[in-house]
Amino acid sequence: MWSPSQYRRFKQERKEPFDDLVALVQRRPHMRVVDLGCGPGELTRELHERLEAVETLGVDNSAAMLVEARKHEGGGVRFEAGEIEDFECGARYDLVFSNAAFHWVPDHERLFTHLAKCLSIGGQIAVQMPANDHHRSHMVAAEVALEMGVAPRPSPILPLTEYAELFHRLGFERQRVRAQIYGHVLPSSADVVEWVRGALLTHYESQLPAERFADFIRTYQERLLDAIGEHAPYFYTYQRMLLHAAR
């Protein structure tokens, strides 16, 4: 259900937390990097070049995203299909990286414990996750889903303190764990629907036939605009978690 074109509608706004996450990474010579949930691939290519990595592997479970991602292959960058939770390291990586993907994966304690085993000596993990379930854009979606007989998308995200404790238990010597609010000035309130449709609403689209999903979108837009008001422009606040830990 992932649409690269829909996801890219707010390309610059979605890139801001990526830039902040990359800034947390400690660049080292000849890094081997894996980008889990790489999406359409342009940011994987940028990550590779900014770190001057020797090898970067992008992994995603969306065939549509991988079609776009493979346009960025070459020069040490490659992509493969796979589920994040099933990723098998094979070799060790200097950086396990994920931008806006882990909030789709359950059981974070198991996930981070597994990925810590994929790191080389001195390896790092850097993860950015949306954590905006409290915003009306997400709460209204859950309400409409329930009315249509669809379970709201469960969130596996832990409290921030639990990530800090988990990194400590896993033997990371240095860590930076924070929540950050990104404020995005969108053309209008209605553009929030288009933003959420590029990510969160793909879950409900996968659960509903096309006609019922069209009904979902109509009801969702009506309820959301009633909740947040109709403004042009509209200031959309979006909370994300940024996690970095190093051995």
**Per-domain boundaries in the chain:** 4-246
pLDDT digits 0-9 by tens, 55-72: 999 999 999 999 999 999
Res 243: pLDDT: 98
Query: Strand 119-130 relative to strand 234-246: parallel, antiparallel, unpaired?
Result: antiparallel
Q: Tell how strand 119-130 and strand 93-99 pair up.
A: parallel
What pLDDT sits at residue 5?
A: 65
> Yes or no: is domain 4-246 CATH 3.40.50.150?
yes
Apex CA 46: angle with CA 42 and CA 52, to 5°?
Answer: 145
Q: Is the pTM for the entire model greater than 0.95?
A: no
> Which residue positions in the chain have pLDDT lower than 50?
none
Residue 146: how many CA atoms within 13 Å on its side-chain side?
8
Residue 147 burial by CB count (10 A; 0-12/13-18/19+): exposed, middle or buried? exposed
pLDDT digits (tens, 9 = 90+) for 146-182: 999 999 999 999 999 999 999 999 999 999 999 999 9
What are phi and psi for residue 127, nearest 5 degrees? -135, 135
The answer, yes or no, to whether the previous bond of 233 is cis (omega within 30 of 0) is yes
Residue 3 is predicted with a pLDDT of 63
